[in-house]
Amino acid sequence: MINKLNGMLDRVIPLITPSSLVIGVVLGQRLTPYAFLVAWIFAFMTFSGSLNSSFKQIKSAIMRPLPLLMTLMVLHVIMPLVAWLTGHLLFSSDPYVITGLILGLVIPAGITSFIWVSIYQGNIGLTLSVILIDSLLSPFIVPVSMYFLVGAKVSMDVWAMVKGLLWMIVLPSVVGMALNHLTHGSIYSTLGKRLAPFSKLSIGLVVALNGAAVAPYLRHFNLHLAEITLVVLLLAVLGYPFGLLIGKVFKWDKETLISLTFNGGMRNISAGAVLAVTYFPSPVAIPVILGMLFQQLLASFYGSILKKLFVIGPNAKGSHLDHTA
């Protein structure tokens, strides 16, 4: 039953985040008393996702560092600079929107990218390494990036942000990897597969709770909000082809190209929403939370493109999708 539930959630995951956001906005104040649970839920999600990860994967990525470094460049150099430039060109009088656009693109790689890379037969080891290493570096990368790109224009508690990233991402990841190491990988079969569907359901819960926190700003849709939504969509669209293009330039194999495509476009958007709601003025969270509407849908769209390019996918011969991932 757990495996069937997990397989069903894999198929509907593009709809989980947008529908959960709508629920959060509609319920609004009814959910806000439970906002304190978000950090705990997110720590559980990170722990669950890391049970299938190992320190050996990090070592393997370091031994062949170029794909990893190029992915991190897309995630933390190219796309944040694009967001900074776009924000200043289109929203020069609104520092909160600029900050939200940048924050949405400096957060670490998305955990759910592993699911999409599995479906479309990409390089699993590279993807796990990107997620793990980027997550471990996030307490340094995110505050430093925000400081240089935003500076003192918007009030932010940098040290509190660092502690939040350590608690939500780094500590659960290390604990999960340590258990994987100590059990020689068996922890994933005994516990990880059972936790996987609850982790996916937790994504929806986190999105709903964060949506409730910014509900007053999203309920009254106007031209300004429409402009922000369009820009967020445009930025979300760009990360995927950047990753694919870099892989093409270096003439890497199709598995690496697939991984770079998803890793370049997908962010730990739930973590970004938690950071925005917790450590920044409320309007900063609007662009980040709007990003939740598009990420999984865009992953599905680019997956269909990759399927046509490489004749791959869940129905292709040799597919190694594990619906318990």
Please measure the distance between the N-terminal and C-terminal CA atoms of the chain and give it in whole angstroms: 15
Cα angle 96, 100, 103; round to 5: 135
C-alpha span between 274 and 119 (Å, rounded): 28
Nearest CA among 48, 181, 15 for reference residue 114: 48
Q: What is the pLDDT of residue 319?
A: 41
Q: What is the pLDDT of residue 291?
A: 85
pTM of this structure? 0.76
C-alpha span between 77 and 105 (Å, rounded): 9
Query: What per-residue string of b and e applies to 159-188 under the rule 16 or more CB within 10 Å gives b?
Result: eebbebbebbbbebbbebbebbeeeebebb
Q: What is the pLDDT of residue 155?
A: 60
C-alpha span between 82 and 238 (Å, rounded): 9
DSSP assignment of 89-122: HH-TT-HHHHHHHHHTTTSPBPTTHHHHHHHTT-
C-alpha span between 117 and 313 (Å, rounded): 10
C-alpha span between 107 and 265 (Å, rounded): 12
Nearest CA among 87, 18, 90, 148 for reference residue 284: 87
Q: What is the pLDDT of residue 311?
A: 61
Nearest CA among 261, 301, 309 for reference residue 126: 261
Q: Across the 325 residues of the chain, what is the mean pLDDT of every consecutive 10-residue run? A: 76 77 85 84 82 77 86 93 95 92 90 76 81 83 87 64 77 88 88 84 82 76 89 93 92 90 87 82 87 81 86 48 36
Q: What is the pLDDT of residue 300?
A: 81
Residue 157, Cα to own-chain centre: how many angstroms?
A: 22
Helices (H), 51-183: 55-63, 65-73, 79-90, 95-103, 113-119, 124-149, 158-165, 171-182
C-alpha span between 201 and 189 (Å, rounded): 19
Q: What is the pLDDT of residue 130?
A: 87
C-alpha span between 169 and 163 (Å, rounded): 10
Q: What is the pLDDT of residue 50?
A: 79
Q: What is the pLDDT of residue 90?
A: 94
Q: What is the pLDDT of residue 321?
A: 38
| Domain at 32-310, CATH from 1.10.1040.10, 3.90.78.10, 1.20.1530.20, 3.30.70.20 | 1.20.1530.20
Helix (H, G, I), strand (E, B) or coil at 267: strand
Q: What does the block give as tokens for 65?
A: 């560092």
CA distances from 72 to 50, 107, 169, 239 (A): 19, 11, 17, 12
Cβ atoms 321, 4 nearer than 8 A? no
